Amino acid sequence: MDEYKSLFQRLAGYAASNTVPLHMPGHKRNAAGIPFLEELGAKYDITEIEGFDDLHNPRGILADAMQKAARLWKSDTCFFLVNGSTCGILSAVRAAAKISGNGRIIMARNCHKSVYNAVELSELTPIYIAPAAVEGFGFCGSIPPKDIEIAVRDNPGTPVILTSPTYEGIISNIAEISVICHLYGSPLIVDEAHGAHLGISPFFNGGAVHAGADIVVQSLHKTLTGLTQTGLLHLSGGLIPPEDILRELSIFETSSPSYLLMSSIDGTRELIETRGGELFKNWNKRLDRFDKLVSPLQNLKIPGHSDFFDCQKKNSLAGYARRGIESSAVYGFDRSKIVISCEGTDTTGISLMSELRSRFGIECEMAACGYVVAMTGILDSDESIERLGKALCRLDAKTRTTAPRIPFTAAKLPPRRMSVSEARASTSRSMSVRDVRGKVSAEYIWAYPPGIPLVVPGEELTEEIIKSIIIQREAGVSLRSTSGGMPKTLRILL
C-alpha cells in the first residue's frame, strides 16, 4: 500500500530526497535564492518521472487519485483537467458528437464560448435552447425540461449541453432533463464549471453528477481550493466510452501536465474528505449571516439572499418579512453566488462594482449593466463576507430608486444566415458598430466576463442586437470580439 495519502505528499517526499534531476523542467527544482521559484513551489515541479504516472496513460498514482475523486463526486470515471474546464468542454462535445454522428448538437444559447468553439471545431449545426430571463433582474433563468424534450424528440440521439449553475447561480432541473435525454438516446453534457461544490455536502444541492448527467465538467478553482485552471471531467452511464474521452483529452490537454496543478486537484479532494463537513458548514453559516445583514436593503436587491426565490425554503430572517421572487424561470439557485441587482435605481452594475472596489476594497467577479456578481468560496473568511454585507448596506442608503424601467436583457436570437464555418471562410471587412445593422457578422461578440457569445458568425446583426451592444458599451461593460475591434468596430461579411 502506498504510504502517501495524496499526490502532494508524494511530491513532498520526492522533493526531500537527494535524487539528481537530469530531466525537465530546466530549473531542476533548485529554487534556493531565487525568490519567485521559491514562492511558487518549484521544488515540487516535476515531469512524468518514475513513480509519478502519466496523465494521458494513467496506471499508478494519478489513476488512483482520479478514482478517489470519482468516489467523492459519485461518478463512474473521473479525469483530471489542467487546461481548465475549457479542455473538458472541447473534449466532451467532440466525443459526444462522434458517438451520435448526425452533425448536430442541442445547446443552451447561454453556454460559454468554449462550447461554441467546440461546435465550430466539430462542424456541428447547433439547435439553440434560449432560457427565459428572470423577470426584473435581466439574467438568464433555468433551461425548461419541456424545451429539451421538444428538441430531443425531433432530434433523437443528438447530444445536449447546457450550463448549470450559471454565472449568476441559476440551476436547471438536471434530473428531469437527464431522464428526457436518455429516453431519446441523447447524451447530456453539463457545464458545471461554477458548481464543483454542489452535491457533496448537505448545504449545497443541485449537483449534475448525482442528477444523472452523462458528462459533467467542473472547475475546482472557482469555489473550491484547486489552483487556477484545474478541473474535473466526470463520466457516468454507458453512452460515451471512457476511452473516447481520453482520446479527446490527449488532443486538447497539454502533453506536459503540471504536477503542481494536479496535486492541488488531489489535495482538494483530500481536504473535502477530511475536513469537508466543517468547511461546508462554516461556509453555509457565513451565507446565513450575510442574508441577515442584507435583509434591510431597500433599493439594491440580492436575489436568493435579501429576496429569496420561491424555490428556496427559507424562514424570515432578522425579524424582517420574507420577500419572495416568484419566477417560473428559476428552478433552483446556488446561494454561494451573490448577485447584487441595481435595476430600477440611479446606479449601474459597473458603477456599483467600482464603488465596492474604491471605497471598500472589495473586488467582485463581474459587472453587467444592472447587476454585480460576487463569488463566495469554501475558504472565504467571516470578515470578508461581513465586510461585503455592511458595504452594501451603506451603498443602499445612498442609492435612489428611479421610475420603473425594463431591465436590460440579452436580445432575442438573431436570424442565422449561414453556418459559422461558411461565415469564417467568407470575405469580410471592418465597420463601425453603429453602421452594421442588417449585415451578417463575421465574428463572435461577447461580454467578458462571463464569455457568453451575444452574436455568432453567420448571424444577422439585427437592430435589437445593435441596441443591446450599444447599451452595454455605454454602461461600461467589457465587450470583446474575435478580431479585437470591439467595442468600436465589427467585422461583417461583404
> Are 166 and 257 contained in the same domain?
yes
Q: Are residues 196 and 77 in the same domain?
A: yes
User: Is there a single domain that holds both residue 317 and residue 237?
Assistant: no
Range of the domain at 27: 1-52
Q: What is the pLDDT of residue 10?
A: 94
Name the nearest CA neighbour of 444 among 52, 165, 114. Answer: 114
Residue 431 maps to which CATH number?
3.90.100.10
The pLDDT assigned to 3 comes to: 64
Amino acid at position 119, single letter: V
In a domain, 260, yes or no: yes
Give the total number of structural domains in the chain.
4
**Site of grid cell 441523447:** 186
460 lies in the same domain as 365: no
Among 247, 271, 295, the domain boundary falls at 271
Any domain includes 428: yes
Shared domain check, 233 and 86: yes
| Angstrom distance (rounded) from CA 118 to CA 90 | 5
Give a yes or no: residue 411 inside a domain: no
Does residue 151 share a domain with residue 67? yes
426 lies in a domain?
yes
Say if residue 39 is in the same domain as residue 69: no
Q: Residue 343's domain is classified under what CATH number?
A: 3.90.1150.10
Say if residue 168 is in the same domain as residue 88: yes
Q: Are residues 379 and 477 in the same domain?
A: no
Q: Is residue 369 part of a domain?
A: yes
Main-chain phi, psi angles of 339, to 5 degrees: -105, 115
Q: Are residues 102 and 123 in the same domain?
A: yes
The answer to whether position 31 is within a domain reads yes
Please give the Cα distance from 2 to 365 (Å, whole number).
40
Q: Examine residue 358 and state whether it is found in any structural domain, yes or no.
A: yes
Boundary (domain end) residue, out of 271, 290, 323: 271
Share of the chain above pLDDT 90, in %: 89
Sign of the torsion angle spanned by Cα atoms 344, 347, 350, 354: negative
Confidence at residue 214, expressed as pLDDT on a 0 to 100 scale: 98
Q: Which of residues 252, 271, 290 is at a domain's end?
A: 271
Q: Are residues 119 and 241 in the same domain?
A: yes
Residues of the chain predicted below pLDDT 70: 1-4, 313-323, 403-407
Q: Is residue 325 part of a domain?
A: yes
In a shared domain, residues 24 and 73: no
Q: Look up residue 433 and give its three cell numbers.
A: 458598430
